[in-house]
Amino acid sequence: MTTTNDTLLADCLRFAQRLIQTPSMPGEEGAIAALIAAEMRQLDFDEVWLDEIGNVYGRIFGQDRSLGALVLNTHLDHVDPGDPALWPVPPYAGAIVGERLVGRGACDIKGPLAVQIYSMAGLRRLGERPRRDVVFTGVVEEEVGGAGAIYWAEHLDYPVALVVLGEPSGNRLSLGHRGILALWVTFPGRSVHASVPQNGVNPNYALATFLTRLQTMQGELGRHPLLGPTSVAPTIIEVDTKSQNVTPAWTRVLLDFRTAVESERSLQAFVHRVAGDLPHTISPGWESLVLTDSDRPIFGYYTPPESDVVQRARAAIGRGMGYEPELSSYQFATDGRHFVPYNLPIIGYAPSDEGEAHTAGESIAIAMMADSLRGHMQLLREF
Protein backbone atom coordinates (compact mmCIF):
# COMPACT_ATOMS: atom_id res chain seq x y z
CA MET A 1 0.00 0.00 0.00
CA THR A 2 1.03 3.59 -0.45
CA THR A 3 2.02 5.77 2.48
CA THR A 4 -1.32 7.57 2.15
CA ASN A 5 -3.21 4.30 2.42
CA ASP A 6 -1.04 3.18 5.33
CA THR A 7 -1.91 6.37 7.21
CA LEU A 8 -5.60 6.02 6.40
CA LEU A 9 -5.63 2.42 7.67
CA ALA A 10 -3.78 3.39 10.86
CA ASP A 11 -6.25 6.19 11.58
CA CYS A 12 -9.18 3.90 10.79
CA LEU A 13 -7.81 1.26 13.13
CA ARG A 14 -7.38 3.74 15.98
CA PHE A 15 -10.96 4.90 15.48
CA ALA A 16 -12.19 1.30 15.56
CA GLN A 17 -10.35 0.81 18.85
CA ARG A 18 -12.05 3.86 20.34
CA LEU A 19 -15.42 2.58 19.16
CA ILE A 20 -14.82 -0.75 20.91
CA GLN A 21 -13.69 1.08 24.04
CA THR A 22 -17.09 2.84 24.10
CA PRO A 23 -19.70 0.27 25.23
CA SER A 24 -22.99 0.69 23.40
CA MET A 25 -25.55 -1.90 24.44
CA PRO A 26 -29.03 -1.48 22.91
CA GLY A 27 -30.66 1.62 24.35
CA GLU A 28 -27.28 2.92 25.53
CA GLU A 29 -25.85 4.24 22.26
CA GLY A 30 -25.68 7.94 23.16
CA ALA A 31 -21.95 8.03 23.93
CA ILE A 32 -20.91 6.22 20.78
CA ALA A 33 -23.20 8.36 18.61
CA ALA A 34 -21.51 11.46 20.04
CA LEU A 35 -18.07 9.94 19.39
CA ILE A 36 -18.95 9.18 15.76
CA ALA A 37 -20.45 12.63 15.20
CA ALA A 38 -17.32 14.30 16.58
CA GLU A 39 -15.11 12.13 14.36
CA MET A 40 -17.09 12.97 11.22
CA ARG A 41 -16.90 16.69 12.00
CA GLN A 42 -13.15 16.43 12.55
CA LEU A 43 -12.86 14.59 9.21
CA ASP A 44 -14.58 17.50 7.45
CA PHE A 45 -17.84 15.82 6.45
CA ASP A 46 -20.18 18.27 4.79
CA GLU A 47 -23.10 17.53 7.13
CA VAL A 48 -23.34 15.74 10.49
CA TRP A 49 -26.52 15.35 12.50
CA LEU A 50 -28.49 13.17 14.91
CA ASP A 51 -32.21 12.42 14.92
CA GLU A 52 -34.80 12.15 17.67
CA ILE A 53 -34.29 8.42 18.24
CA GLY A 54 -30.49 8.66 18.54
CA ASN A 55 -29.34 7.65 15.05
CA VAL A 56 -26.23 9.51 13.82
CA TYR A 57 -25.63 10.63 10.23
CA GLY A 58 -22.86 12.12 8.11
CA ARG A 59 -22.98 13.26 4.50
CA ILE A 60 -20.34 14.03 1.89
CA PHE A 61 -21.64 15.84 -1.16
CA GLY A 62 -21.16 14.18 -4.53
CA GLN A 63 -20.15 15.58 -7.88
CA ASP A 64 -23.71 15.15 -9.14
CA ARG A 65 -26.13 15.87 -6.33
CA SER A 66 -29.13 15.13 -8.54
CA LEU A 67 -28.35 11.42 -8.26
CA GLY A 68 -29.77 9.22 -5.54
CA ALA A 69 -27.50 8.81 -2.53
CA LEU A 70 -25.20 5.91 -1.72
CA VAL A 71 -26.01 4.98 1.89
CA LEU A 72 -23.46 3.25 4.11
CA ASN A 73 -25.43 1.70 6.96
CA THR A 74 -24.26 0.18 10.23
CA HIS A 75 -25.79 -0.15 13.66
CA LEU A 76 -24.34 1.31 16.85
CA ASP A 77 -25.24 -1.38 19.38
CA HIS A 78 -23.70 -4.74 20.20
CA VAL A 79 -24.55 -7.83 22.23
CA ASP A 80 -23.42 -8.36 25.80
CA PRO A 81 -19.80 -9.53 26.06
CA GLY A 82 -20.67 -12.30 28.50
CA ASP A 83 -18.07 -13.76 30.87
CA PRO A 84 -14.84 -11.71 30.55
CA ALA A 85 -12.87 -14.80 31.60
CA LEU A 86 -13.69 -16.37 28.22
CA TRP A 87 -11.92 -13.54 26.37
CA PRO A 88 -8.20 -13.48 25.51
CA VAL A 89 -8.20 -9.75 26.35
CA PRO A 90 -10.77 -7.58 28.17
CA PRO A 91 -13.76 -7.29 25.81
CA TYR A 92 -13.76 -3.48 25.77
CA ALA A 93 -9.98 -3.05 25.52
CA GLY A 94 -9.92 -2.84 21.74
CA ALA A 95 -6.56 -4.61 21.76
CA ILE A 96 -4.54 -5.66 18.74
CA VAL A 97 -3.45 -9.29 19.02
CA GLY A 98 -1.19 -10.38 16.20
CA GLU A 99 -2.79 -9.15 13.00
CA ARG A 100 -6.30 -8.84 14.41
CA LEU A 101 -8.30 -6.27 16.36
CA VAL A 102 -10.07 -7.98 19.27
CA GLY A 103 -13.07 -6.79 21.28
CA ARG A 104 -16.83 -6.82 21.57
CA GLY A 105 -18.09 -5.33 18.33
CA ALA A 106 -14.78 -5.67 16.47
CA CYS A 107 -16.53 -7.81 13.84
CA ASP A 108 -20.16 -6.88 14.46
CA ILE A 109 -20.04 -4.00 13.74
CA LYS A 110 -17.51 -1.42 14.88
CA GLY A 111 -14.64 -2.50 12.64
CA PRO A 112 -16.85 -2.24 9.54
CA LEU A 113 -18.32 1.03 10.86
CA ALA A 114 -14.82 2.54 11.07
CA VAL A 115 -14.09 1.38 7.51
CA GLN A 116 -17.25 3.05 6.22
CA ILE A 117 -16.40 6.35 7.92
CA TYR A 118 -12.77 6.31 6.82
CA SER A 119 -13.53 5.35 3.23
CA MET A 120 -15.53 8.57 3.04
CA ALA A 121 -12.72 10.45 4.78
CA GLY A 122 -10.17 8.90 2.42
CA LEU A 123 -11.70 10.63 -0.56
CA ARG A 124 -11.77 13.95 1.29
CA ARG A 125 -8.08 13.62 2.12
CA LEU A 126 -7.31 13.06 -1.56
CA GLY A 127 -9.31 16.13 -2.53
CA GLU A 128 -11.89 13.98 -4.34
CA ARG A 129 -15.66 13.96 -4.32
CA PRO A 130 -17.73 10.79 -4.70
CA ARG A 131 -19.84 10.46 -7.84
CA ARG A 132 -23.04 11.00 -5.83
CA ASP A 133 -23.86 12.03 -2.26
CA VAL A 134 -22.70 9.45 0.28
CA VAL A 135 -24.57 9.26 3.58
CA PHE A 136 -23.36 7.33 6.61
CA THR A 137 -26.29 6.11 8.73
CA GLY A 138 -25.47 4.75 12.19
CA VAL A 139 -28.67 3.33 13.65
CA VAL A 140 -29.66 2.23 17.13
CA GLU A 141 -31.08 -1.01 18.53
CA GLU A 142 -30.42 -3.39 15.63
CA GLU A 143 -29.69 -6.20 18.06
CA VAL A 144 -33.17 -5.94 19.59
CA GLY A 145 -35.38 -5.52 16.53
CA GLY A 146 -34.16 -2.57 14.46
CA ALA A 147 -35.95 0.50 15.84
CA GLY A 148 -33.28 2.83 14.47
CA ALA A 149 -33.38 1.41 10.95
CA ILE A 150 -37.16 1.49 10.91
CA TYR A 151 -37.15 5.13 12.01
CA TRP A 152 -34.62 6.09 9.31
CA ALA A 153 -36.61 4.38 6.56
CA GLU A 154 -39.91 5.89 7.71
CA HIS A 155 -38.45 9.42 7.76
CA LEU A 156 -36.26 9.13 4.65
CA ASP A 157 -36.49 12.42 2.72
CA TYR A 158 -33.92 11.94 -0.07
CA PRO A 159 -33.62 9.45 -2.95
CA VAL A 160 -31.40 6.39 -2.40
CA ALA A 161 -29.63 4.51 -5.17
CA LEU A 162 -28.10 1.79 -2.98
CA VAL A 163 -27.80 0.82 0.69
CA VAL A 164 -24.56 -0.92 1.66
CA LEU A 165 -24.91 -2.84 4.92
CA GLY A 166 -21.80 -3.02 7.10
CA GLU A 167 -22.74 -6.41 8.52
CA PRO A 168 -19.83 -8.88 8.39
CA SER A 169 -19.53 -10.44 4.94
CA GLY A 170 -15.87 -11.38 4.68
CA ASN A 171 -15.47 -8.72 1.95
CA ARG A 172 -17.93 -10.67 -0.19
CA LEU A 173 -21.14 -9.15 -1.55
CA SER A 174 -24.03 -10.51 0.50
CA LEU A 175 -27.13 -10.31 -1.64
CA GLY A 176 -29.69 -11.18 0.98
CA HIS A 177 -30.74 -13.31 3.88
CA ARG A 178 -33.64 -15.43 4.94
CA GLY A 179 -36.60 -13.99 6.77
CA ILE A 180 -37.76 -14.88 10.27
CA LEU A 181 -40.99 -16.31 11.57
CA ALA A 182 -41.32 -17.30 15.22
CA LEU A 183 -44.20 -19.57 16.25
CA TRP A 184 -45.29 -20.80 19.64
CA VAL A 185 -46.62 -24.36 19.60
CA THR A 186 -48.64 -25.10 22.74
CA PHE A 187 -49.62 -28.55 24.01
CA PRO A 188 -52.51 -28.74 26.52
CA GLY A 189 -52.56 -31.00 29.55
CA ARG A 190 -54.40 -31.48 32.83
CA SER A 191 -52.53 -30.34 35.91
CA VAL A 192 -52.31 -32.54 39.02
CA HIS A 193 -50.09 -33.03 42.03
CA ALA A 194 -46.81 -34.55 40.91
CA SER A 195 -47.28 -37.41 43.38
CA VAL A 196 -50.22 -38.75 41.34
CA PRO A 197 -49.22 -38.12 37.71
CA GLN A 198 -51.55 -40.88 36.52
CA ASN A 199 -54.52 -38.68 37.39
CA GLY A 200 -53.50 -35.92 34.97
CA VAL A 201 -52.26 -35.42 31.43
CA ASN A 202 -48.66 -34.26 31.32
CA PRO A 203 -48.13 -32.19 28.14
CA ASN A 204 -44.36 -32.56 28.37
CA TYR A 205 -44.64 -35.99 26.77
CA ALA A 206 -46.47 -34.53 23.78
CA LEU A 207 -43.76 -31.88 23.51
CA ALA A 208 -41.05 -34.54 23.58
CA THR A 209 -42.77 -36.47 20.81
CA PHE A 210 -43.17 -33.31 18.77
CA LEU A 211 -39.50 -32.34 19.08
CA THR A 212 -38.37 -35.82 18.06
CA ARG A 213 -40.57 -35.65 14.97
CA LEU A 214 -39.38 -32.10 14.23
CA GLN A 215 -35.75 -33.22 14.15
CA THR A 216 -36.63 -35.92 11.63
CA MET A 217 -39.00 -33.92 9.41
CA GLN A 218 -37.27 -30.54 9.10
CA GLY A 219 -35.59 -31.72 5.90
CA GLU A 220 -39.00 -31.37 4.20
CA LEU A 221 -38.67 -27.58 4.29
CA GLY A 222 -37.69 -25.74 1.11
CA ARG A 223 -34.41 -24.21 -0.07
CA HIS A 224 -33.61 -20.94 -1.88
CA PRO A 225 -30.90 -21.25 -4.58
CA LEU A 226 -28.76 -18.43 -3.10
CA LEU A 227 -30.09 -17.75 0.39
CA GLY A 228 -30.01 -21.40 1.38
CA PRO A 229 -32.25 -23.92 3.14
CA THR A 230 -35.08 -23.21 5.53
CA SER A 231 -34.07 -23.94 9.11
CA VAL A 232 -36.06 -24.35 12.29
CA ALA A 233 -34.71 -24.20 15.82
CA PRO A 234 -36.71 -24.87 18.98
CA THR A 235 -35.47 -22.23 21.41
CA ILE A 236 -37.57 -21.37 24.49
CA ILE A 237 -39.68 -23.91 26.38
CA GLU A 238 -42.26 -22.68 28.90
CA VAL A 239 -44.87 -24.22 31.21
CA ASP A 240 -47.67 -22.56 33.13
CA THR A 241 -46.32 -23.35 36.60
CA LYS A 242 -43.21 -22.63 38.64
CA SER A 243 -44.06 -25.20 41.33
CA GLN A 244 -41.84 -28.27 41.28
CA ASN A 245 -44.53 -30.61 42.61
CA VAL A 246 -47.20 -29.81 40.01
CA THR A 247 -47.46 -31.22 36.48
CA PRO A 248 -48.11 -28.52 33.87
CA ALA A 249 -51.53 -27.55 32.57
CA TRP A 250 -49.75 -26.68 29.31
CA THR A 251 -46.30 -26.53 27.83
CA ARG A 252 -45.12 -24.65 24.79
CA VAL A 253 -42.05 -24.32 22.62
CA LEU A 254 -40.93 -21.39 20.49
CA LEU A 255 -39.86 -22.35 16.97
CA ASP A 256 -37.47 -19.97 15.18
CA PHE A 257 -37.87 -20.42 11.41
CA ARG A 258 -35.44 -18.85 8.91
CA THR A 259 -36.56 -19.08 5.30
CA ALA A 260 -36.65 -17.42 1.91
CA VAL A 261 -39.15 -19.77 0.26
CA GLU A 262 -41.73 -20.81 2.86
CA SER A 263 -44.77 -18.71 3.76
CA GLU A 264 -46.83 -18.19 6.90
CA ARG A 265 -49.36 -20.68 5.51
CA SER A 266 -46.79 -23.33 4.59
CA LEU A 267 -44.93 -23.11 7.90
CA GLN A 268 -48.13 -23.45 9.90
CA ALA A 269 -49.07 -26.43 7.75
CA PHE A 270 -45.64 -27.94 8.42
CA VAL A 271 -46.12 -27.58 12.18
CA HIS A 272 -49.51 -29.26 11.95
CA ARG A 273 -47.94 -32.15 10.00
CA VAL A 274 -45.23 -32.57 12.58
CA ALA A 275 -47.71 -32.49 15.47
CA GLY A 276 -50.00 -34.96 13.73
CA ASP A 277 -52.54 -36.31 16.20
CA LEU A 278 -51.07 -34.45 19.18
CA PRO A 279 -53.49 -31.79 20.49
CA HIS A 280 -51.84 -28.42 19.92
CA THR A 281 -52.33 -24.78 18.99
CA ILE A 282 -50.12 -22.33 17.09
CA SER A 283 -49.69 -18.67 17.98
CA PRO A 284 -47.32 -15.90 16.86
CA GLY A 285 -43.92 -15.63 18.49
CA TRP A 286 -44.09 -11.84 18.67
CA GLU A 287 -46.93 -9.94 20.29
CA SER A 288 -47.11 -7.52 17.36
CA LEU A 289 -47.60 -10.27 14.78
CA VAL A 290 -50.98 -11.50 13.63
CA LEU A 291 -50.69 -14.81 11.82
CA THR A 292 -52.24 -14.96 8.37
CA ASP A 293 -52.79 -17.49 5.61
CA SER A 294 -50.42 -15.62 3.31
CA ASP A 295 -48.63 -17.62 0.63
CA ARG A 296 -46.02 -14.90 0.17
CA PRO A 297 -42.48 -16.23 0.76
CA ILE A 298 -40.83 -14.92 3.91
CA PHE A 299 -37.42 -13.41 3.27
CA GLY A 300 -35.29 -10.65 4.71
CA TYR A 301 -34.00 -9.04 1.54
CA TYR A 302 -32.83 -10.36 -1.80
CA THR A 303 -31.00 -8.47 -4.54
CA PRO A 304 -30.61 -10.67 -7.63
CA PRO A 305 -27.00 -11.22 -8.73
CA GLU A 306 -27.82 -10.20 -12.31
CA SER A 307 -29.20 -6.81 -11.21
CA ASP A 308 -27.51 -3.62 -12.36
CA VAL A 309 -26.64 -2.46 -8.84
CA VAL A 310 -24.87 -5.72 -8.04
CA GLN A 311 -22.93 -5.75 -11.29
CA ARG A 312 -21.81 -2.15 -10.94
CA ALA A 313 -20.95 -2.43 -7.25
CA ARG A 314 -19.07 -5.68 -7.77
CA ALA A 315 -16.97 -4.24 -10.59
CA ALA A 316 -16.08 -1.07 -8.66
CA ILE A 317 -15.25 -2.90 -5.43
CA GLY A 318 -13.17 -5.42 -7.37
CA ARG A 319 -11.13 -2.65 -8.96
CA GLY A 320 -10.54 -1.16 -5.52
CA MET A 321 -9.53 -4.36 -3.75
CA GLY A 322 -7.63 -5.82 -6.69
CA TYR A 323 -9.81 -8.93 -6.84
CA GLU A 324 -13.48 -9.49 -7.60
CA PRO A 325 -15.60 -10.10 -4.50
CA GLU A 326 -17.51 -13.37 -4.35
CA LEU A 327 -21.31 -13.33 -4.12
CA SER A 328 -22.82 -14.72 -0.94
CA SER A 329 -25.68 -14.37 1.54
CA TYR A 330 -26.02 -13.83 5.28
CA GLN A 331 -27.07 -16.59 7.65
CA PHE A 332 -28.33 -14.12 10.24
CA ALA A 333 -30.93 -11.38 9.83
CA THR A 334 -29.99 -7.72 9.29
CA ASP A 335 -31.64 -4.32 9.27
CA GLY A 336 -31.87 -4.77 5.49
CA ARG A 337 -35.24 -6.46 6.00
CA HIS A 338 -36.66 -3.14 7.20
CA PHE A 339 -35.72 -1.39 3.95
CA VAL A 340 -37.50 -3.84 1.63
CA PRO A 341 -40.96 -2.19 1.98
CA TYR A 342 -39.41 1.05 0.68
CA ASN A 343 -37.95 -0.61 -2.44
CA LEU A 344 -34.39 0.35 -1.56
CA PRO A 345 -31.67 -1.67 -3.36
CA ILE A 346 -29.49 -3.42 -0.77
CA ILE A 347 -26.17 -5.24 -0.66
CA GLY A 348 -23.95 -6.25 2.24
CA TYR A 349 -20.22 -5.59 2.09
CA ALA A 350 -17.92 -5.47 5.10
CA PRO A 351 -14.49 -6.65 6.24
CA SER A 352 -15.23 -9.23 8.90
CA ASP A 353 -16.30 -12.85 9.09
CA GLU A 354 -19.87 -13.68 10.07
CA GLY A 355 -18.62 -16.56 12.22
CA GLU A 356 -16.89 -14.09 14.57
CA ALA A 357 -20.10 -12.24 15.39
CA HIS A 358 -21.36 -12.51 18.98
CA THR A 359 -18.51 -14.80 20.04
CA ALA A 360 -16.17 -14.50 23.03
CA GLY A 361 -12.90 -13.23 21.61
CA GLU A 362 -14.64 -11.56 18.65
CA SER A 363 -12.07 -10.11 16.24
CA ILE A 364 -11.45 -8.70 12.78
CA ALA A 365 -8.44 -9.10 10.49
CA ILE A 366 -6.59 -5.83 9.92
CA ALA A 367 -5.59 -6.93 6.40
CA MET A 368 -9.26 -7.43 5.58
CA MET A 369 -10.00 -3.90 6.79
CA ALA A 370 -7.29 -2.58 4.46
CA ASP A 371 -8.80 -4.37 1.45
CA SER A 372 -12.24 -3.13 2.34
CA LEU A 373 -11.10 0.48 2.66
CA ARG A 374 -9.83 0.33 -0.92
CA GLY A 375 -13.00 -1.41 -2.11
CA HIS A 376 -15.27 1.11 -0.43
CA MET A 377 -13.34 4.09 -1.75
CA GLN A 378 -13.57 2.85 -5.33
CA LEU A 379 -17.28 2.16 -4.86
CA LEU A 380 -17.74 5.76 -3.74
CA ARG A 381 -15.83 7.02 -6.78
CA GLU A 382 -17.67 4.96 -9.40
CA PHE A 383 -21.15 3.98 -8.28
CA distance 87 to 196: 48
Question: Within a domain: residue 63?
Answer: yes
Q: Among candidates 41, 324, 307, which has minimal Cα distance to 161?
A: 307
Q: What is the pLDDT of residue 1?
A: 39
**For residue 302, what is the enclosing H or E element?**
strand 299-302
275 and 240 both lie in a single domain: yes
186 with 224, same domain?
yes
The domain spanning residue 265 has which CATH number?
3.30.70.360
Does residue 290 lie in a domain region?
Answer: no
Number of structural domains in the chain: 2
Please tell me the total number of residues recorded for the chain in this structure.
383
Residue 353 · residue 170 · CB < 8 Å: yes
Q: Which of 158, 173, 167, 174 is nearest to 62 (CA)?
A: 158
Q: Which residues are CB-contacts of 352 (< 8 A; sequence separation ≥ 6)?
A: 106, 107, 108, 111, 112, 168, 169, 170, 364, 365, 368
Domain assignment present for 294: no
Eight-state DSSP code of residue 310: H
What does the alpha-carbon distance between residue 71 and residue 57 come to, in Å, rounded to a whole number?
10
Q: Are residues 31 and 135 in the same domain?
A: yes
The mean of the pLDDT values for the chain is 96
pLDDT in tens, 47-71: 999 999 999 999 999 999 999 999 9
Could you tell me if 161 and 12 lie in one domain? Answer: yes
pLDDT value of position 2: 45
Residue 315 per-residue DSSP state: H
The CATH code of the domain that includes 308 is 3.40.630.10
Domain residues for the domain of 199 are 178-284
The pLDDT of residue 4 is: 60
Indicate if 209 and 305 belong to the same structural domain: no
Domain boundary among 284, 318, 352: 284
Residues 222, 154 share a domain: no
Q: What is the pLDDT of residues 71-84, one digit of tens each?
A: 999 999 999 999 99
Q: Are 330 and 301 in contact (CB under 8 A)?
A: no
Whether 48 and 154 share a structural domain? yes
**pTM summary value:** 0.86
Q: Within this chain, do residues 73 and 191 fall inside the same structural domain, yes or no?
A: no
The string of pLDDT tens digits covering residues 338-349 is 999 999 999 999
Query: Rounded to the nearest 5°, which phi and psi values hold at 337?
Result: -65, -25
Whether 39 is in a domain gets the answer yes
CA dist., res. 315 & res. 130, Å (int): 16
- In sequence order, what are the beta bridge partners of 363? 102
191 domain-assigned? yes
Domain boundary among 234, 249, 284: 284
Shared-domain flag, residues 88 and 183: no
Separation between Cα atoms, residue 306 and residue 314, nearest integer Å:
11
The Cα 253–Cα 271 span in angstroms is 12
Position 289 scores a pLDDT of: 76
State the pairing for strand pair 327-330/173-188: parallel
Determine which helix (DSSP H) or strand (DSSP E) holds 69, and give its type and residue range: strand 69-75
d(CA 376, CA 318): 10
Render each residue's pLDDT in the chain as its tens digit; 383 residues.
344 688 999 999 999 999 999 999 999 999 999 999 999 999 999 999 999 999 999 999 999 999 999 999 999 999 999 999 999 999 999 999 999 999 999 999 999 999 999 999 999 999 999 999 999 999 999 999 899 999 999 999 999 999 999 999 999 999 999 999 999 999 999 999 999 999 999 999 999 999 999 999 999 999 999 899 999 999 999 999 999 999 999 999 999 999 999 999 999 999 999 999 999 999 999 766 789 999 999 989 999 999 999 999 999 999 999 999 999 999 999 999 999 999 999 999 999 999 999 999 999 999 999 999 999 999 999 99
Beta bridge partners of 74: 138
Long-range contacts of 28-33 (CB under 8 A, 24+ apart): 28/77, 29/54, 29/76, 29/77, 29/140, 29/141, 30/54, 32/76, 33/76, 33/138, 33/140
Name the 3-class secondary structure at 330.
strand
Which residues, in sequence order, are CB contacts of 180 under 8 Å at separation 6+?
256, 257, 258, 298, 300, 333, 337
> Where is the domain boundary, 252, 284, 316?
284
pLDDT digit string (tens) for 294-309?
999 998 999 999 999 9
DSSP code for 68: P
Domain shared by 47 and 29, yes or no: yes
Q: How high is the pLDDT of residue 288?
A: 64
User: Is there a single domain that holds both residue 182 and residue 271?
Assistant: yes
Residue 295 lies in a domain: no
Same domain, 108 and 12: yes
